[in-house]
Structure 1
Amino acid sequence: MLDEIDRALIHALQLAGRAPYSRIGAVLGVSTQTVARRYQRLRAEAGLRVIGLPDPHRAGRSQWLVRLTATPRAAQDLASALSRRTDTSWIKLASGGTEIVAIVHTTPADGNTLLLHDIPRTAGITSVSAHYLLHLYVGGPTAWGARATTLTQDQERALSHPFSGGTAEVLPTDRKLLTALGADGRATVVDLANQTGWAPATVARRLADLEASGAIFFDVDVDPNAFGATTAAMLWLSVPPAHADKVARALAKHDELAFVAATTGRTNLVAHALCPSPDALHTYLTERVGAIEPITALETVPVLRTVKSAAPARAT
């Protein structure tokens, strides 16, 4: 479990993923050495990673939430095959090991088709559905609320990266930079220069432009178990279109939800719930979600494990 300093560090990284240890330490009121030591320990013990990602809309990418159901053996193989692809992220094994939920990223060059190309052909697949992600309410640049509650407003302001309103956009020439940031968002400018072939000054200037304009953001990947969230589930909700935005905004305020999005399909809202126990999930569903009247149907799918989280940006 995390202590107050650990939680504050994770919160700080969510706000300023590339901030130097010295700056984070000054805001948290601890030494630079303490921040560095805690960061390395959390990387080893809680899977902490800072990941640089392009804003999908600014980069001209579309995102699809894909559900595949299969026999248990086939599901394991399919999850492994999907995890090796560079156009997938957030792959989860669910429903007792018979369902896979994954995000697939496409570009105009793909024609937004063939989402499941290169998937092994197997008689074990029993159903497939694809849901176009229309709008993110929680996820991407918007952090899971439960891991962003430690710092004061003054500390948040001291760390938050100001958006300049610049016009920098992700370009094909940024491919190597995005791939490197996807592997390690805190890689040094020198390391990024070595991986891109650019001069360090060029890397620093390009990073500053992209981040200041909001074309890229830095996410934090950490094991939810470290926060005591040992029970996870995907929630597939049906809401009348006239109420969908209002319901999604209400759900986005729930600290139990690490992801909330509007999608196409028979269910038009989807969420990822993280709770301390099955009983806590039951209480959350019955007392909080159940109190939202416009929801007409809810499917709860337990998540066994995350096979893949965020991945390096796809080559274009």
Structure 2
Amino acid sequence: MQDYEPDDVDFGLIHALQIEPRASWKVLAPILAVDPVTLSRRYQRLRDTGLIWVTGYDAGTPGRGALVEIECAPGQSAATAEAMSEDPVVAGIDFTAGGRDLLLTLMAQDSAETSQFLLHRLGEYPEIRRARTHLITEVLFEAGNWRLRTLSAAQAARVPGPRPPRPRAARTVSPDLKRVIHHELGIDGRAATTAIAERAGVSNQRITDAIATMRRDGSLLLRTDIARTYSEWPIYAWYFMQVPAPLIERLRTSLGRIEEVRLAVLVASEYNLIMAVWLRTLNDVHRFELLLEKILPGSRVADRSVVMQIGKHLGHILDEQGRATGPVVPVTPPGRA
């Protein structure tokens, strides 16, 4: 694949799409001072080279998510990850250094489906030596809220949010139509409503209304991701923490101000907080640990792992450079709403 080095205009475009993944080129053109045709061409180049990807997925129900630490037989991590990548419940696979070989992110429809994977399908991989599960009880900060800092505050404020449903739009969306929308936007979060309408056998307006309704009620989330190695934060690390319960409330308001934090979840395990962060240098792994313990006095970083490579991210298969160049396994299984 031909390499491509994004410039400031590209990063501005990515930042805008992080704010509103389905924003039109016409709307973004005056904000970025670039004509719509050029924006469309730049986006297509970024997408074709795997540097960015836009994903739609089901927000699901509480208790459906988990992080799973995997230890494999020597030399079997890659083969195990490749086999697991075909499972739609496995939304993410990280190859890590430290006390685990792989770290899986599970996103199921409900807790029963999570249990089905953990109790049955996980045992189908013979090279797994050990697995430890951390059930997610609450998401404090989600990576879809993470932003580049390319646009000025004034520019970012001009990027419009999603359109609300029309007053005449149906207030609910049928399970069958939800299934089609989740599947199509799971592959391409900017998929045209006309193409989705054709696949679903309904009108374009109905798809437009359904997407707006699902985004409003939280059953559809959209996010724009960038290949980490092409950002200013090439180092990716996980922290496993024990935090005094009274400090959790402080985290709810402070996490959004820490630019390195990509994901923070409360879990039911020997830890109570697990965080994923992007850092600028490898030395920052320890510096950030000191910062955490300063911000959260009395807390303890019980363990940490640096991610060597991402195998799968929100259903997208990534290459060794972290680019979304492979097939897509939508997070929501095709047979489920």
Calculate the TM-score normalised by the size of structure 1: 0.87
What is the match of residue 193 of structure 2?
A: 189
Give the Cα–Cα distance (whole angstroms) in 1 for the partners of residues 240 and 173 of structure 2: 32
Question: Which residues of structure 1 form unaligned runs of 5+?
Answer: none
Q: Which amino acid aligns with 1:159?
A: P
Query: Residue 150 of structure 1 aligns to which amino acid in structure 2?
Result: L
Query: 1:237 is matched by which residue type in structure 2?
Result: M
User: Could you say what secondary structure the match of 1:115 adopts?
Assistant: helix
Counting only pairs closer than 5 Å after superposition, residues 3-42 of structure 1 correspond to structure 2 as: 3-42=7-46
Matched residue, 2:136: 133
Compared CA separation, residues 131 and 252, structure 1 to 2 (3 A): farther
Q: What is the distance in 2 between the residues matched to 1:277 and 1:294?
A: 26
For 1:157 and 1:133, the matched residues in 2 are separated by: 35
Report if the CA contact (8 A) 1:51-1:182 is conserved: yes
State the 1:280 CA deviation: 2.7
Contact 2:293–2:300 (8 Å) recurs in 1: no
Question: How many angstroms apart in 2 are the aligned matches of 1:218 and 1:121?
Answer: 32
Q: Partners in 2 of 1:255 and 1:62 — Cα distance? A: 27
Query: Structure 1 residues 3, 307: CA separation in 2 closer, same or farther (over 3 Å shift)?
Result: same
Post-superposition Cα deviations, 1:21-54, rounded to whole Å, max 9, x if no partner, equal 1111122221112211221222133531111122
Aligned to 2:77: 75
Superposition pairs for residues 1-316 of structure 1, below 5 Å? Answer: 2-57=6-61, 62-95=64-97, 99-108=101-110, 110=112, 112-116=114-118, 117-119=120-122, 121=124, 124-139=127-142, 142-145=144-147, 147-148=148-149, 150-153=151-154, 155-161=156-162, 168=171, 171-173=174-176, 174-247=178-251, 249-286=253-290, 288-292=291-295, 293-311=297-315, 312=330, 313-314=332-333, 315-316=335-336
Identity across matched positions, percent: 21
Report SS of the residue matched to 1:65. Answer: strand
The one-letter amino acid of 1:77's match is A
- SS of the equivalent of 1:278 reads coil
Asked if the contact 2:164/2:213 (under 8 Å) is kept, the reply is no
Shift of 1:255: 0.9
One-letter code aligned to 2:106 = V
Q: Is the 8 A contact 2:63 2:111 kept in 1?
A: no
CA distance 1:80–1:134, change in 2 (3 Å): same
Please tell me whether the aligned partners of residues 61 and 106 of structure 1 are also in contact (alpha carbons under 8 angstroms).
no
What TM-score, normalized to structure 2?
A: 0.82
Give the Cα separation in 1 of the matches to 2:255 and 2:95: 23
**Residue aligned with 2:250, SS:** helix
Aligned length: 311
**Unaligned ranges ≥5, structure 2:** 316-329
2: CA distance between counterparts of 1:126 and 1:108?
Answer: 26
Cα deviation, 1:37-91, whole Å, max 9, x if unaligned, reads 221222133531111122223xx77111111112242322221122100112121
Q: 1:139 is matched by which residue type in structure 2?
A: E
SS in 2 for 1:22: helix
Compute the displacement of 1:192 (Å): 0.9
Pair 222,97 (structure 1): closer, same or farther in 2 beyond 3 Å: farther
Post-superposition offset of 1:97: 9.9
Deviations 1:146-167 (A, max 9, x none): x155242464244222667x99
RMSD: 2.7
Q: 2:13–2:39: 8 Å Cα contact kept in structure 1? A: yes
